[in-house]
Amino acid sequence: MKNVILSFVLLMTISSFSYAQKSSKQLKKVLELAMPGEAGGLDGTRGANVAYNPFLKRYYAAFAGNVGYPLAVFDLKGKMLSESDLKTQADIRGLWFNPVTKTLQGNCYSDGGWVNYSLDKNGIPDLPTSLLDETGMYQPDEQSVGTFDAKLKTVYFLSGNSVIAYNMKGLIGKAVQLNPLAALSEDAEPDELSSSYNNTTVIFTGIPKQEFGIYNTDTRKIELYNRANGVYTNSWQLPEDAPNYSDFNLAFCNGLLWLFDQETRIWYAYK
């Protein structure tokens, strides 16, 4: 009888632990970054990414789509520190801060390569220069949005339902295939991503066994996956009014999840 009771208790403990691991953390809005320009496309529409400079405590946000679209710098409270006419000067997709070089970096559209922005004493970016010695597409797709792992000096990209890693020498390692919760349509290929997800952007959290995150725009959940095997491990639940676009407009930095609203032109941070 004792063995039966102990087995039952053990089973309930394991079940409770498993549920706790996969239950959703409720995120709340904590910060806003209001981008310069007017809505309508002339000053950019889709948010590319947000990066954080821990040395100067600055946020950087950029638009995707054109070399003449805004790039903005903000303080920790969301006050814009850069001039309203500051531009990306590169067709940016991903954007990240490199703590080794203490520069802002990013990947561009298609074979535009990767770029490096030197920063002045106030953290304002200078004109971008190329990071790569050779031309070519150092990313899986034309619209891929890079996210940076500073520890491994690696940039991750989402390609279908897989995460692919690159460095400045090109493709590295094997793709990590995720097992997204949302089912594919009957006529979809096995390596595709369901239309329920943001299809351009994967976030890198740095959280052990929850390193990669993809956005299920139907449920407004960030699903988190183990980098080692692509297994789903946890999720973050966003509010019902959180922006939910099928591409771009998604970022993670400084422990915050960022979503861009194309109507208000504001990056909203959630924690």
Digit-coded pLDDT (tens) for 155-180: 999 999 999 999 999 999 999 999 99
Judge whether residue 200 has pLDDT over 50: yes
Above pLDDT 90, what percent of the chain? 85
Q: Does the pLDDT value for residue 12 go beyond 70?
A: no
| Residues paired with 41 in a beta bridge | 44
Q: Do residues 213 and 266 touch, judged by C-beta distance below 8 A?
A: no
Q: pLDDT tens digit string along 137-155?
A: 999 999 999 999 999 999 9
Q: Is the pLDDT of residue 100 over 50?
A: yes
Return the residue matching tokens 């369901």.
194
21 pairs with which residues across the strands?
none
Whole-model pTM: value is 0.91
Q: Is the pLDDT of residue 19 over 80?
A: no
Q: Which two tokens stand for residue 176?
A: 């990590």
Mean predicted confidence (pLDDT) in 88-115? 97
User: Has residue 239 got a pLDDT over 50?
Assistant: yes
pLDDT of residue 135: 81
Q: What is the pLDDT of residue 5?
A: 38
Residues in the chain: 271
pLDDT at 15: 37
Integer Cα distance of 226 and 143 in angstroms: 24
The pLDDT value given to residue 186? 81
Query: Chain-wide mean pLDDT for the chain?
Result: 92
> What's residue 23's pLDDT?
66
Task: Categorize the per-residue pLDDT at 133 as very low, low, confident or very high, splitting at 50, 70 and 90.
Answer: confident
Residue 16 has pLDDT above 90, yes or no: no
DSSP letter for 21, please: H
pLDDT of res. 185: 85
Whole-number pLDDT of residue 3: 45
Distance CA(141)–CA(34), nearest Å, equals: 29
| pLDDT value at 238 more than 60 | yes
Q: 22: pLDDT confidence band, cut at 50, 70 and 90?
A: low
The better pLDDT of the pair 135, 7 is held by: 135
Domain residue extents for the chain: 25-270
Q: How many Å apart are CA 117 and CA 21, to the nearest integer?
A: 39
Indicate the fold that domain 25-270 takes in CATH: Methylamine Dehydrogenase; Chain H (2.130.10)
- Pairing status of strand 212-216 against strand 221-225: antiparallel
C-alpha distances in angstroms, 223 versus 108, 129, 157?
A: 26, 35, 16
Least confident of 16-30, 57-71, 86-100, 119-133: 16-30
